[in-house]
Structure 1
Amino acid sequence: MTWLDKLERRFGFLGIPGLIRIVIGFTALVYVLVYLNRGFESLLTLDPALILRGQVWRLVTYIFIPQTFSPLWVLLALWFLWFIGEGLERAWGPFRLTLYFVVGMIGTTVAAFFFGSNFSNGMLITSLFFAFARFYPDEVIYILFILPVKIKWLAWIYAAFLMLGFFVGPNSYRAALLAAFANYFIFFGPE
């Protein structure tokens, strides 16, 4: 019995069924609110200085900020997040997916406080993609709805870009990458 099995047996009731659907719903709501009032986004970012001044909601709300505000790209990003989230929930169940997500959030938050800068949810979502690629490497998606590509090849290409950024990017990028991928290393490292 692995440590994850023991945790699930003891704390399985804390798993949130449909967690990714909830994240998608709030992200869509944030998109609409930011579209109506562009300044709304600044109230949700992961800003350590403002959190220390009492704005504790920022510890959670940054995960709902879309990476882009183009309507088409937001729609595609939310669809893809739903696609990988449903796959991960099928493979792991609600508890492990919730734990994976929360560990990634904690890592991102700790890195933001360590560097004193704003971090986004981009790396956290990327870690979900890599977990999905680990479970479903031969799943095919169609780039631009035309070109069939297996998830494992997209993951390798994305990993190459992340490694390039790790070696040439600033320390804050390295910290964001390592922090958000802490969940991936914890869940898949021993294998």
Structure 2
Amino acid sequence: MKIYRMFDRFCARNERYGIKNLMIYIVAGNVIVFLLSMIDPRGIIPAFLSFDRYKVLQGQVWRLLTYVIVPRVGRGAFGAFLFAIMLYFYYTIGKVLESRWGSLKLTIFYFLGTLITSVFAILLRAAADASYINLTLFLAFATLYPDMRVMFFFVIPIRIKYLAYFALGLELLSVVVNFRLFPANMLPLAALLNYALFFLPFITSLLRSARYRRSDNVINFKQAKRQAEKQYRQAQYRHKCEVCGKTDTAYPDLEFRYCSKCSGYHCYCQDHISTHVHVV
């Protein structure tokens, strides 16, 4: 789409306005708030930065952005370990996206997603946290690098696209399970709007290809090729070239001969009767 090409050119020409190494600042903010919360048993600092719809409407507008550096950490050492793994994972994703997009496009993607989530959280009377923007960040990475493999639980190699399907499925399931909280349960879908805006050409292309696959008049060339190869292997024949596998059934005009220099009976087509390696 032309507007997306224009946007990419704009980001490339105005790279200086982006926040370089954005994910370093996001990760550092999470670590600082996490450490401060450990010496703050009443949770004053996280409460001061977290998203709160009523306080935003009262004028505390910084909460529209600062909630992305308020970590959600489980209890104990294991919770801290998972928190560290999560930060490293999203830092790596962010660095790859920055190298692919440039700092300005990543900056726009991240903070536009944050603001969209905040606005819909206000409208839907829901609670916002960094998990929504992290999900869109992950989906963006999986869209650009679907076949990249990661070690799931440090043991199982799995393509990133399957993890993205799983994460997206969990969010959609949460919408269904929490239907009694409507409209607040719709916030995950609203948060995905940022991803949809940036990847609309990819989504439309995917839907278009799916529609073509459903048409009876469209040939699936890969499937047709596999079927033809299967029929070719199963066809009855009298002569078969031991080099290329061609048979007199599939190629009736091709000449087949047996090599007198090979030990035993070995058949070759006219293309390989003089060039094959003799069997002794």
Instruction: Give yes or no for TM over 0.5.
Output: yes
What is the alpha-carbon distance in structure 2 between the residues aligned to residue 96 and residue 109 of structure 1?
A: 20
User: 2:29 matched to which residue of 1?
Assistant: 26
What is the alpha-carbon distance in structure 2 between the residues aligned to residue 159 and residue 118 of structure 1?
A: 19
Instruction: Decide whether the 8 Å contact of 2:113 with 2:133 is kept in 1.
Output: yes
TM-score w.r.t. the length of structure 2 is 0.64
User: 1:42 matched to which residue of 2?
Assistant: 47
CA shift, 1:52, in A, is 2.4
Q: Secondary structure at the match of 1:145?
A: coil
CA shift, 1:178, in A, is 2.5
User: 2:193 matched to which residue of 1?
Assistant: 182
What is the alpha-carbon distance in structure 2 between the residues aligned to residue 86 and residue 168 of structure 1?
A: 34
Identity of aligned residues (%): 31
**Superimposed CA distance per residue, residues 40-83 of structure 1 (whole angstroms, 9 cap, x where no aligned partner):** 21111111211222322212210001122421111111011111
User: 1:172 matched to which residue of 2?
Assistant: 184
The structure having more radius of gyration, on CA atoms, is 2
Q: 1:112 to 1:100 in 2, by over 3 A?
A: same
What is the alpha-carbon distance in structure 2 between the residues aligned to residue 147 and residue 173 of structure 1?
A: 33
Structure number with greater CO (CA < 8 Å, separation at least 6) is 1
User: Which consecutive residues of structure 2, in runs of 5 or more, have no partner in the other structure?
Assistant: 203-280
Q: 1:9 to 1:94 in 2, by over 3 A?
A: closer
Matched, 1:65 2:76: no
User: 1:135 matched to which residue of 2?
Assistant: 144
What is the alpha-carbon distance in structure 2 between the residues aligned to residue 5 and residue 150 of structure 1?
A: 28
Q: Secondary structure at the match of 1:78?
A: helix
Q: Secondary structure at the match of 2:201?
A: coil
Query: May I ask how many residue pairs the two structures share in their alignment?
Result: 190
Matched, 1:162 2:165: no
What is the alpha-carbon distance in structure 1 between the residues aligned to residue 138 and residue 12 of structure 2?
A: 26
CA shift, 1:10, in A, is 6.1
Q: Secondary structure at the match of 2:129?
A: coil
Matched, 1:4 2:16: no
TM-score w.r.t. the length of structure 1 is 0.91
RMSD: 1.7
Ranges of 4+ aligned residues in structure 1 off by more than 4 Å = none
User: 1:116 matched to which residue of 2?
Assistant: 125
